[in-house]
Structure 1
Amino acid sequence: MRERNNRITFHMNDKELEELNRNVQLAGICREKYIRCALMGITIHPRTPDSCKALARQVAAVGNNLNQLARIANFNGKAEDAYLQEAQQIMTRIWQLMKEQL
């Protein structure tokens, strides 16, 4: 059984419809949900681009590598130059990934 049984029909001009469709596409939700959220005063944010999601995964993977280096340094009680250089390379790679995506 439907949760929403009431139907409302209203008219829009071409400009209003274009604006609605553009906002719906940016939000990544259906028209009905967009209108309901707008009526309830919920702030509707644009959907996160897929490229940002991919960047977050890559940064997380690189961060894991950096964390492994930190564990080794803590276990040994010192940070060897090789570990520090590798950590620097990882941080440089994170910076490059972010610059490419943004």
Structure 2
Amino acid sequence: MRETAKTMALRLNAAEYAHLCRQAEVTGLKKEPLVRQLIMGVNLRPRPPDAYADLLRALSAIGNNINQLAHQANARGAATGDEITEALHLVRQATRLVRERL
């Protein structure tokens, strides 16, 4: 657990507190860590959507498949028409996933 050297009370009006709560929700942080990050000058960004992790996994798998096709083509010195078609299909699938999720 984090060692706390100093404690500070912070008084906020209703609008300030509501804004702090909205920012905590947007960033995915709890209020105290959010305030600490802001004090330290960290540029906070919104939490990525839940679909972002799924998209990264899918793109990683597609990239792995394309890499395997490229490795086979490099080992033989050429790519077959089927391998090129498969690679093109995978790139189109990746593009479709990105457009659907973002």
TM-score with structure 1 setting the length: 0.91
Runs of 4 or more above 6 Å deviation = none
Q: Which runs of 5+ in 2 are unaligned?
A: none
CA distance in structure 2 between the partners assigned to 1:7 and 1:89 by the alignment: 57
Q: CA deviation at 1:81?
A: 0.5
Which residue matches 2:75?
A: 75
Q: Which moved more, 1:23-32 or 1:83-92?
A: 23-32
Q: CA deviation at 1:6?
A: 2.6
TM-score with structure 2 setting the length: 0.91
| CA RMSD between the two structures | 1.5
Change (3 A) 1:26 1:2: closer
1:96 pairs with 2:102? no
Which residue matches 2:66?
A: 66
- For residue 66 of structure 1, what is the amino acid of its counterpart? I
Q: Which runs of 5+ in 1 are unaligned?
A: none
Count of residues in Structure 1 that have an aligned counterpart in Structure 2: 102
1:49 pairs with 2:49? yes
